C-alpha cells in the first residue's frame, strides 16, 4: 500500500507523540532523581522495554483493525500508556491506603482511554495536536534534564587518587557487614523495651568487642557510609554555610571509589562489593569488577518507576495472598543472602575486603521473627510508631541470620577481621518529619545510637574505645594492619535532610555532648 506525503507526515508526528507520551513518566522520574542516580542505565532500559511494547501493541492493533490508519493505532496505544502511567500521580507517593479495586481497574481505564482516542481522533491534524500537547507536558522535565546534562562535569571523588603502597604487618580477610538502621543495645532497651543482651553475649563469644556507646556521625545512609569509607566527614563549608558533599560524589564513594578501598588495594587487597536487597544506593557500580549479587528481584529504582503504574500495588496484593512465603517480587535483603554467597566470596583471591550492606532490619517491615515473609509496601521511610513491635520481630530475624553468618565466617576463616555495624539508628520519633533544628536529645539518641561490634587482631583491640564513632572505623582497621598509631578524629555529628525536605542541601551540626 502506498503512503502519501500527508499520511507519512501524520505517521511521523503520531510516532513522535507516542514516544513522548509513553515515556513521559521516565522523563519526569529522571528529572526528579538525576542528582542521585549514578547513571541512567535502568531508565534507558525501561524506555526501550516500553517502546518495544508500544510498537508491538500498535502493530497488533493495526492487524486487528486493518481499515484504521497506522497513525491512529499508534496514538491509541500512546494514550493508553500515558493514562496507565498516571496512576502514581493519582494515588500519590504512599499507596497503602489505596482502595483494593483501583490497581485492578486502572488498566481497564487506560485501555478505555486508548479506545476513545482510536474512535475520535480521526482527522490527521490530531497527530499534530497530540505531538504539541505531548511536548508541552514533557517540556519542563526535558528542560531540567538538558540543563543538568549541560552543567554536569565529571566528578573526581577524593578516593580516586592513587595511594602510596603501604606495607601490611598482617593481612587478614576483612568483612564489613552493615545492618541498616540497627539500634544500639541501650536504645533498644530504652526506646523499645527490648533486651538484646543475648545477641550481644553471643557476639562476645565469637570474639567481638561490642562498643556500648558507639555513635554514627550522620543519620542518613549515604552520608554515614561515605564518611566511614572516606575516613573523614563528608561535609564542606562555603559562603552559605555548612553543606554535605554532592550526592553523586558520595554515591561513588559508597560504590567503591573511597579512600579506604584505595588504601587497601595499595596493600594488595581485592575489593568485593556485595549487592543485596532493595536499596539502590548500595548496589554495585556498573563497572565494579568484583560484584557478588544476592537476592534478585525488583529493587528501589524498579519500584519507584513502576509505582507510576498499578503494578506495584498488584504485586503487594499478590504477596499478601501468600502467608508464610519466604520470597516476594522485591529483593528485600536479608543477612541470609550473604551467607548463601559465602562460597562465591571465598573464591576471591586473598586478602580481600568485603563490603556487604544489608537492608535489614530497616523498614519496610517484611520479616516475622521466624524470618517468614510479611507482606509490605516497598517504602524505605516507613518509620510508623505503630510498627515498633513488628520492627523488633524483624530485628530478631536479623539476629538469627547474622549469628549464622558470623559463625560460618569464623569457622571457615578464623583469622578474619570482621566489622559488624549499622549506619545509623531508627527514626520512630518522626525525626525526618521535623526540621533538623527542632530535634530533641531523645531524637538524636535514637537516630545516632548505632550497633558497632569489631573482631580485631589482639594487638589493636585496646584501641576500640567504647564510644568510637563510625568515621574512625577504618583508621582503626588500617592501624591494626600496619601497626601505625591510631589517631581518632574529634567526634562531630551532622544532620543532612533528605532531598524531599525544604532544608535539603544543608548540613546542621550538633554539639557532641547532645549526642549521647
Query: Which residues does residue 367 pair with via DSSP β-bridges, in sequence order?
Result: 373
Residues 185 and 270 in one domain: yes
Do the domain assignments include residue 316? no
Do the domain assignments include residue 479? yes
Residue 96's pLDDT band, with cuts at 50, 70 and 90, is low
Residues 135 and 185 in one domain: no
* Full domain range(s) for residue 124: 5-151
Please tell me the predicted confidence (pLDDT) of residue 161. Answer: 44
Residues 405 and 347 in one domain: yes
Please tell me the predicted confidence (pLDDT) of residue 501. Answer: 64
Residues 106 and 210 in one domain: no
Residue pair 168/482 in contact (Cβ under 8 Å)? The answer is yes
The whole-number average pLDDT for the span 30-49 is 79
The whole-number average pLDDT for the span 145-157 is 62
Residue 166's pLDDT band, with cuts at 50, 70 and 90, is low
The whole-number average pLDDT for the span 14-24 is 92
Residues 199 and 348 in one domain: yes
423 vs 382, more confident: 423
CA 47/CA 240 separation, integer angstroms: 39
Residues 283 and 345 in one domain: yes
Cα–Cα distance list, 19 to 23, 74, 134, 254 (Å)? 6, 9, 9, 35
Q: What percent of the chain has pLDDT over 70?
A: 87
CA 288/CA 256 separation, integer angstroms: 8
Do the domain assignments include residue 351? yes
Please tell me the predicted confidence (pLDDT) of residue 302. Answer: 78
Q: How many domains does the chain have?
A: 2
226 vs 5, more confident: 226
The whole-number average pLDDT for the span 267-283 is 86
User: Residue 94: is its pLDDT beyond 60?
Assistant: no
Q: With H, G, I as helix, E, B as strand and everything else as coil, classify residue 329.
A: coil
The whole-number average pLDDT for the span 31-57 is 83
Residues 81 and 129 in one domain: yes
Residue 186's pLDDT band, with cuts at 50, 70 and 90, is very high
**Average model confidence (pLDDT) across the chain:** 86
Residue 87's pLDDT band, with cuts at 50, 70 and 90, is confident
Query: Which residues does residue 356 pair with via DSSP β-bridges, in sequence order?
Result: 177, 274
Please tell me the predicted confidence (pLDDT) of residue 208. Answer: 97
Do the domain assignments include residue 228? yes
Query: How many residues does the structure list for the chain?
Result: 516
Do the domain assignments include residue 143? yes
Q: Which DSSP string corresponds to 481-500?
A: HH-PPP-PPPP-EEE---TT
Task: Name the nearest CA neighbour of 211 among 417, 485, 461, 426.
Answer: 461
CA 413/CA 345 separation, integer angstroms: 12
pLDDT digits (tens, 9 = 90+) for 439-475: 999 999 999 999 999 999 998 999 999 999 999 999 9
Residue 155's pLDDT band, with cuts at 50, 70 and 90, is very low
CA atoms within 13 A on the CB side of 318: 12
Task: Name the nearest CA neighbour of 269 among 351, 190, 330, 372.
Answer: 351
User: Residue 159: is its pLDDT beyond 50?
Assistant: no
Do the domain assignments include residue 311? no
Last-in-domain residue among 151, 180, 201: 151
Q: Which DSSP string corresponds to 115-162?
A: HHHHHH--STHHHHHHHHHHHHHHHHHHHHHHHHHHH------GGGSP
Task: Name the nearest CA neighbour of 311 among 108, 28, 98, 84.
Answer: 84
CA 189 to chain CA centroid, nearest Å:
28
Lowest-pLDDT range of 92-96, 111-115, 267-271, 287-291? 92-96
Do the domain assignments include residue 308? no
User: Residue 158: is its pLDDT beyond 60?
Assistant: no
Residues 225 and 354 in one domain: yes
Please tell me the predicted confidence (pLDDT) of residue 304. Answer: 76
Lowest-pLDDT range of 257-271, 369-383, 474-488? 369-383
Please tell me the predicted confidence (pLDDT) of residue 277. Answer: 67
CA 305/CA 140 separation, integer angstroms: 18
With the C-alpha atoms ordered 352, 355, 358, 361, is the resulting torsion angle positive or negative? positive
Residue 164's pLDDT band, with cuts at 50, 70 and 90, is low
Do the domain assignments include residue 208? yes
Task: Name the nearest CA neighbour of 339 among 371, 299, 365, 364.
Answer: 371
The whole-number average pLDDT for the span 34-59 is 84
The whole-number average pLDDT for the span 12-40 is 84
Last-in-domain residue among 99, 124, 151: 151
User: Residue 157: is its pLDDT beyond 80?
Assistant: no
Residues 146 and 220 in one domain: no
pLDDT digits (tens, 9 = 90+) for 197-253: 999 999 999 999 999 999 999 999 999 999 999 999 999 888 778 889 988 889 899
Residues 216 and 83 in one domain: no
Query: Which residues does residue 237 pair with via DSSP β-bridges, in sequence order?
Result: 242
Lowest-pLDDT range of 33-37, 261-265, 268-272? 33-37
Residue 134: left (phi > 0), alpha (psi -120 to 50), or beta? alpha
418-443: b or e for each residue (b if 16 or more CB lie within 10 Å)? bbbbbbbbbbbbebbeeebeebeeeb
Residues 145 and 79 in one domain: yes
CA 267/CA 261 separation, integer angstroms: 10
Cell of 13: 508526528
CA 176/CA 460 separation, integer angstroms: 17
Residue pair 373/326 in contact (Cβ under 8 Å)? The answer is yes
User: Residue 354: is its pLDDT beyond 80?
Assistant: yes
Q: With H, G, I as helix, E, B as strand and everything else as coil, classify residue 181.
A: coil
Instruction: State the CATH number of the domain containing residue 261.
Output: 3.40.720.10
285 vs 181, more confident: 181
Give burial (CB, 10 Å; 0-12/13-18/19+) of 223. buried
Please tell me the predicted confidence (pLDDT) of residue 154. Answer: 44
CA 17/CA 477 separation, integer angstroms: 57
Last-in-domain residue among 151, 178, 200: 151
User: Residue 352: is its pLDDT beyond 80?
Assistant: yes
Residues 39 and 143 in one domain: yes
Please tell me the predicted confidence (pLDDT) of residue 389. Answer: 95
Amino acid at each position: 500500500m502506498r503512503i502519501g506525503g500527508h499520511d507519512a507526515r501524520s505517521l511521523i508526528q503520531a510516532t513522535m507523540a507516542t514516544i513522548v507520551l509513553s515515556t513521559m513518566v521516565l522523563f519526569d522520574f529522571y528529572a526528579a532523581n538525576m542528582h542521585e542516580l549514578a547513571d541512567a542505565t535502568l531508565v534507558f532500559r525501561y524506555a526501550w522495554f516500553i517502546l518495544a511494547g508500544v510498537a508491538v501493541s500498535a502493530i497488533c492493533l493495526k492487524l486487528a483493525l486493518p481499515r484504521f490508519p497506522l497513525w491512529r493505532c499508534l496514538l491509541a496505544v500512546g494514550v493508553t500508556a500515558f493514562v496507565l502511567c498516571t496512576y502514581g500521580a493519582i494515588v500519590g507517593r504512599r499507596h497503602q491506603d489505596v482502595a483494593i479495586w483501583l490497581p485492578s481497574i486502572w488498566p481497564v481505564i487506560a485501555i478505555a482511554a486508548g479506545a476513545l482516542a482510536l474512535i475520535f481522533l480521526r482527522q490527521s491534524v490530531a497527530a499534530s495536536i497530540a505531538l504539541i500537547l505531548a511536548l508541552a507536558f514533557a517540556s519542563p522535565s526535558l528542560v531540567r534534564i538538558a540543563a543538568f546534562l549541560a552543567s554536569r562535569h565529571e566528578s573526581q571523588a577524593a578516593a580516586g587518587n592513587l595511594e602510596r603502597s603501604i606495607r601490611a604487618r598482617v593481612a587478614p580477610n576483612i568483612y564489613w557487614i552493615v545492618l541498616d538502621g540497627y539500634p544500639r543495645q541501650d536504645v533498644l532497651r530504652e526506646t523499645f523495651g527490648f533486651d538484646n543482651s543475648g545477641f550481644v553475649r553471643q557476639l562476645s563469644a565469637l570474639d567481638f568487642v561490642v562498643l556500648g556507646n558507639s555513635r554514627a556521625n550522620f543519620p542518613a545512609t549515604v552520608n554515614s557510609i561515605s564518611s566511614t569509607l572516606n575516613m573523614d566527614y563528608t561535609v564542606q563549608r562555603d559562603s552559605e554555610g555548612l553543606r554535605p558533599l554532592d550526592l553523586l560524589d558520595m554515591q561513588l564513594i559508597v560504590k567503591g571509589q573511597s579512600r579506604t578501598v584505595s588504601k587497601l588495594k595499595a596493600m594488595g587487597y581485592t575489593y568485593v562489593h556485595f549487592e543485596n536487597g532493595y536499596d539502590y544506593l548500595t548496589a554495585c557500580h556498573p563497572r565494579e569488577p568484583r560484584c557478588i549479587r544476592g537476592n534478585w528481584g525488583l529493587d528501589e529504582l524498579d519500584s519507584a518507576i513502576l509505582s507510576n503504574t498499578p503494578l506495584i500495588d498488584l504485586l503487594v496484593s499478590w504477596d499478601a495472598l501468600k502467608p508464610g512465603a519466604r520470597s516476594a517480587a522485591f529483593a528485600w535483603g536479608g543477612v541470609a543472602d550473604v551467607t548463601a554467597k559465602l562460597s562465591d566470596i571465598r573464591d576471591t583471591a586473598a586478602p580481600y575486603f568485603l563490603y556487604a550492606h544489608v537492608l535489614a532490619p530497616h523498614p519496610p517491615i517484611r520479616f516475622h521473627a521466624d524470618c517468614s515473609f510479611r507482606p509490605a509496601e516497598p517504602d524505605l521511610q516507613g518509620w510508623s510508631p505503630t510498627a515498633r513491635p513488628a520492627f523488633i520481630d524483624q530485628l530478631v530475624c536479623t539476629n538469627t541470620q547474622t549469628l549464622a553468618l558470623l559463625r560460618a565466617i569464623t569457622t571457615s576463616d578464623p583469622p578474619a577481621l570482621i566489622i559488624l555495624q549499622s549506619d545509623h539508628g531508627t527514626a520512630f520519633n518522626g525525626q525526618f518529619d521535623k526540621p533538623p533544628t527542632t530535634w530533641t536529645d531523645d531524637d538524636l539518641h535514637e537516630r545516632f545510637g548505632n550497633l558497632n561490634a569489631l573482631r580485631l587482631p589482639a594487638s589493636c583491640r585496646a584501641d576500640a574505645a567504647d564510644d568510637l564513632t563510625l568515621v574512625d572505623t577504618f583508621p582503626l582497621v588500617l592501624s591494626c594492619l600496619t601497626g601505625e598509631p591510631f589517631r581518632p578524629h574529634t567526634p562531630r555529628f551532622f544532620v543532612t535532610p533528605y532531598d524531599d525536605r525544604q532544608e535539603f542541601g544543608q548540613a546542621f551540626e550538633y554539639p557532641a555532648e547532645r549526642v549521647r
